[in-house]
Amino acid sequence: SLAGLDLLAEINRLRKERNAVILAHYYQRPEIQDLADFVGDSLELSRKAAATDADVIAFCGVRFMAETAKILSPEKIVVLPDMDAGCSLEDSCPPDKFAAFRAEHPDHIALTYINCSTEVKALSDIIVTSSSAEKILAQIPPEQKIIFGPDKHLGGYLARKTGRDMLLWPGVCIVHEAFSETELVKLQAQHPDAPVAAHPECPAHIVEHADYVGSTSGILQYAKDMTGDTLIVATEPHIIHQMQLAMPEKTFIGAPGADGNCNCNICPYMALNTLEKLYLALRDLTPRVEMDEELRLAAKKSLDRMLEMAS
């Protein structure tokens, strides 16, 4: 049993012993963010995973992120505290259906959000993250036809913002879908001076109330740069932990769901990782991400294009 163990001390001992780096996404529990070597958005975490000289990457995020780390750093041991940490966007895009969709549109390239399986990455031409999508899209010739998947809200936002007409795969993030427009407008009425920052995974009826739209790290930067003292945050509420750490004098309010609070917007997949499971992952070096080498190389092509085009 783990009762009586000083988990923090044990994790600190093991990370040295294993020469491990602990990477965490902004949607992780505060206690995991606090002990991570690096906390970041999807693009930053990919870059860190590609560049690290650690022997072990303990990835505190969801499975597609840990798989991305393995694709970019195959010689490292990559552990994910809970292998069930999936993603509704990944689930919405089965590789066989995606392959069939591509086959129906042979004159389109596939620009694909990083929130997808390794198989779907292997079927794609270029991967994007929320923070890199616009920059990458701007480098694709205007006459080139594009399939964008699996997030229809991110795809729709990009299409509206850039005027590019893209064929959208109908996937959604269940977390960002859960914000209520009615409750958001009520909250804005209570805080008339507070801007709204939203992640582009939010549906259009939420994004249209936003003063800033961007990735998790973009939203964090906006919070630092804004002149006011209160911000309404329309993304997974665990990011507020980083905001509060960096700006204790400012007030951050999570955008509400239909019940009027932001607890229904906690990502259930991200929440599967706990301090206990991280400890066990470092101790036993399992659950470990493994993948077929041919599949890895196919997926790496589209990820490498992202890293080149985003730099």
Which residues contribute to the site for ligand 13P (CB under 6 A)? 41-42, 115, 129-131, 173, 199, 201, 215-216
For ligand SF4, the binding residue among 35, 36, 174, 271 (CB under 6 A) is 174
Residue 175, C-beta contacts closer than 8 angstroms, at least 6 positions apart:
88, 201, 236, 265, 266, 267, 268
Residue 264, C-beta contacts closer than 8 angstroms, at least 6 positions apart:
178, 257, 258
> SS3 of 176, please?
helix
Distance in Å, CB of 97 to ligand SF4, minimum:
18
Q: CB-wise, 173 or 262, nearer to ligand SF4?
A: 173
> SS3 of 131, please?
coil
Residue 114, C-beta contacts closer than 8 angstroms, at least 6 positions apart:
42, 43, 46, 64, 65, 68, 121, 127, 128, 129, 303, 306
88 binds, among ligand SF4, ligand 13P, none (CB under 5 to 8 A by kind): ligand SF4
Distance in Å, CB of 61 to ligand 13P, minimum:
7
Asked whether 51 and 35 are in contact (CB, 8 A), the reply is: no
215 binds, among ligand 13P, ligand SF4, none (CB under 5 to 8 A by kind): ligand 13P
Distance in Å, CB of 199 to ligand 13P, minimum:
6
Distance in Å, CB of 41 to ligand 13P, minimum:
3
- Using rule CB under 6 A, residue 69 touches ligand SF4: no
Residues 78-97 that bind ligand SF4 (CB under 6 A): 87-89
Asked whether 133 and 154 are in contact (CB, 8 A), the reply is: yes
Q: Binding residues for ligand SF4, per CB under 6 A?
A: 27, 62, 87-89, 115, 173-175, 201, 236, 267, 269-270
- Write out the binding residues for [4Fe-4S] cluster: 87, 173, 267
